[in-house]
Structure formats: C-alpha cells, structure tokens
Amino acid sequence: HSLEELKQVVDKYPQKYKAFGCIPLGLSVEENNEWIEKYIVKNKFIGLGEIVPKTGEVKQLRTIFSSAEEFGRLPLWVHTFEPVKFTDIKELLELAVEYTKIPVIIGHLGGVHWLDTIKAVRDIPNVYLDLSASFTTMAPYYAVKEYPLRTVFASDAPYMTPRAARLILEEAIQDSGIRRRVMGENIAELLQL
C-alpha cells in the first residue's frame, strides 16, 4: 500500500512533491512494463526507486533498465549501501554504460565504497551521486569536488533529518553557486522540473 499512500501525498501537494515509485526485482520486461504503466505512469510518478537489490541481485535490474528506456528515459534510484557490495556497484555501472539514456542515481554514494564509487563513475555521464547517509562527512566533500553537476542532495529521512544532511553539505561546499546546484538545481535539471 506504500504506492497508494505516496500517490495520496503527491496528489495533495503536487507543487511540493514529485515521486519515484518502487518496482519489484525479478520481473520480465513485459511484467515491468505493466507495473510501470499501472503504478508509475498512472500515478504521475517521475522515476523508479529506491530499488534495493541484495548482493548478487544487480543483474536482475537489466529488465528494469530495458523497461525504463521503453518509457522514455525513466530515472532509476538504486540503493548502494549495505547489503550491496562494490562488485554489485560495478555491475550497476556496467548497466549504466550499456543504457546511456537512463539516468542512474547511486543512492548513498556507494556507502562504505564511496571512494571507489567516486572513482568508478568518472566516465559515465548518466550516473549521479546521491549524498544521503554518507559513510563519512568527507564523502560528500570529495564527490561534490569531482562532480559538482552530478551530485544531488538527499537526506535519507527518517534515518537522517533533512536539516542535518543540509548542514553537512553547507559545511562541505563553500561555493554558493555549487551549493545551489547540489541542493536542488542538479536534480531539477535531471528530472526536467
């Protein structure tokens, strides 16, 4: 019922909220397309996620990438903290390289694998880094320094308050123009809002 509750909130505050909707792993492309039509498109959601694969399950996202492409570049927001390992993140990045039209948001900056993730996304322009639930406060600093146009603010609420997440970024990003990009302009541009 989470999708129904999310739709109610978006319908009540359409100017304030845009939503990504969940999708189960393990469906065929046809089943994904039915799911996306019924639960994402009809609900006016703008992306798929947060997709939470267990370690070893990232290959199952291939059919989701395929369906996202069929629906016109639906962005994917993928959880990359525990239980995801760096081998899983590398598999996810291989899919991002294969499906260059699909924006892929790496949730939580790769978790404990943040430094390897920052290095690995260098030549994959359709990959964005979500700065929520960072493993260390240095992770957002380095991510923003390397990719000021491909990092996006997120708080991972209720596990971290939006205010605390914002304070970390305000401390890490001294340039006010870059801070504006990270705090909202990058994601607005990505989602064409």
What's the pLDDT tens digit per position in 76-130? 999 999 989 999 999 999 999 999 999 999 999 999 999 999 999 999 999 999 9
| pTM exceeding 0.85 | yes
Amino acid identity, residue 141?
Answer: Y
Which residues, including other chains, have CB under 8 Å from residue 166's CB and lie 6 or more apart? 153, 155, 183
Pair 178, 147: CB distance under 8 Å: no
pLDDT tens digits for range 26-82: 999 999 999 999 999 999 999 999 999 999 999 999 999 999 999 988 999 999 999
- Which three-class secondary structure state does DSSP give residue 152? strand
- Under the banding of pLDDT at 50, 70 and 90, the label for residue 159 is confident
Which is nearest to 75 in space by CA: 56, 107, 49?
A: 49
Contact (Cβ atoms closer than 8 angstroms) between residue 108 and residue 80: yes
Residues 92/93/95/97 CA torsion (nearest 10 deg): 170
Q: How many CA atoms lie within 13 A of 105 on its CB side?
A: 26
Q: What is the pLDDT of residue 134?
A: 80
DSSP string, 58-77: GGGGHHHHHHHHHTT---EE
Determine how many CB atoms are found less than 10 A away from the CB of residue 187. Answer: 20
Which 8-state DSSP code applies to residue 113? G
DSSP characters over 139-153: HHHHHHHH-TTSEE-
Token pair for residue 75? Answer: 């962005």
